[in-house]
Chains A and B, each alone.
Chain A
Amino acid sequence: MMTRDRAESSSNVSTTSWIEVVALYVMSITLALMLSALLVEATGGSAGTVVEALVSGSLTSPGRWGQTIGIAVPILLVALGTIVSTRGALVNIGQEGQLLIGAGCGAYASVHLGNHHQWPGGVVLVAIIAAGIAGGALWAGIAALLRYKRNVPEVLSTLLLVAIASQVVAYALRRESLLLAPLGRGQGTQTQQTLAVPESARMPSPEIFGNEVSLSLVLALLAAFMVAFALARTIWGFRLTVLGHNARVAQRSGVAAARYGGIAMVTSGAFAGLAGAVMLVGGDFGNYRLSAGFAANIGWTGLLVALVSRGRVLPAVLIAFILACLRTGSGFLAATGVERRITDVVQALLILALLIPPALLYVRERRRTEAALDSRDLS
């Protein structure tokens, strides 16, 4: 019924091709690896042996890739939650604290239901995980409440809550009524840690090809699928995406920022809390006991993974695994005579390498968009 004005054509808009994207990533990663090799050689090591050690420590030596997966799982869980909050344009950077509180709540369930009341193992395991989720959700919920009731920027509140979280857990670790393990027989001083999670309540880790693979891997992959599906295929994900891109459009079309943003934030915390609980029952961290420093930077690493994967689930799975490899692999570096901390530098370089291409692409896309819009509006 209407006439189309042919003067306005929209066919000549080109997006970046995937070949360009891949080339960009390959180039930037190669550069990072070359720099790393240079650094190793400069500090008196040999790049070849370092690579060998890393691969052997993370994958090929007996039992190692099982452990790598044990570390990749919580990283991925944290990243998945962060992807959800980022979709709503919320900047949650307090995963480390949410994870610690989650682990703390899980440990409380383990100590009181498992060690004291001797509930059946399966029930305790479920309780630990549920408590972890609740704890993380609660901790992020505080930030969400402050954000939507008092307009406190969530960047600040989540970050500051990390410091509070470690104090809260440290306090609980000094009270026998809360988390502290009672003085054992023949023990001179009490170490600030909990009793170990009862064996029956630990996450089963069946042996596959000589590696103990924690069942939490299944949990994490299932969660990854659910997050990807929820964001792409549900009305809830659609609304959250609208909110994240344009809060005014969202408000106009009936998306309540406090509700959707709040849920996204709490979900993000729940995932971090789940990661904490999984770490506790998985045994790769702290040998089934909660102690100070239990979070071990997994929260920060997960945040990094979400950042590098630009909010997409599949790349997040991959990157979580790579970062876990670097972590387990670095354990084997001592034998090569290279400073163990070199892996921190390599990790930093790799992350930079992964962050630069998306930043470049974003800038370029934005410029094209603006150029396209400007030329169109004047026409």
Chain B
Amino acid sequence: MFAHEFMRNAFVAGTFTGAACGLVGWFLVLRAQVFAGDALSHVAFTGALAAAAFGIDVRIGLFVATIVVALGMGGLGERAKADDVTIGTVFAWILGLGALFMAIFSRSGAGADGAAAIHVLFGSILGLSATDTWIAVGVSLAAMGALLAIGRPLIFASLDPAVAAAQGVRVGLLGLTFLVILGATAAEATQAVGALLLLGLVAAPAAAAHRLARNPYRSLALAAALAVAGVWGGLAFAYAVPRVPPSTAIIVLASLVYLAAAGMDAGFRGERIRRAREA
């Protein structure tokens, strides 16, 4: 399996992207902002196709769109809590823009086969070049480093904003920084698992870790480990069964991990309740 360069690239990029997704996802679950991750995946789609339509590097479109929108959400979140209707409408509108860019791009001839759109939607982890791979490693390491650097105050600010603010934690600034890290990670992960499946790799391993580990820092490390395990298992499965796209295999595995964790957690709790009743 590792004889092929594209598999080696996929494993290297997937390992680091997966770990970053796991860490970001853990905070996303803690902060109950999973919906923001979903929103950013729509934005990633539109950003990538806009870049393609205008003949710019797709990566630039991805990063600019997700980071700008993350900053916008952070800025809005401070002042006004947008309601469901607003959020739903805005993101449907953004997806609509994406469809428009896709049409422009398809007519331009360069993307007549629509393969670029498929890649953005569902990822192309087996198609990464050596340069793509190193960029993925660099972006993921930067995101993880930044996240660990603000880890403890971010947990404090997420759980207990008023007390954290009283102790001098810059709650608003941390939230904004987190959204930017989320945007960069989403942009990078879009290339591996695609805009539509991104949320599975971000949310499922993290939610499983929240259920399995009590200590927050161990839980954080576990989220990254589970996401990496999902990527490795998915890649291996897709290699063994070439008809299954790797992004599908990765997401299915990540979801199964979450289901197993939820089952174990429910089992533990049932056991505790039973013991408490007997005592």
| A, B: real partners | no
Q: Which chain A residues have a beta carbon within 8 Å of chain B's beta carbons?
A: none
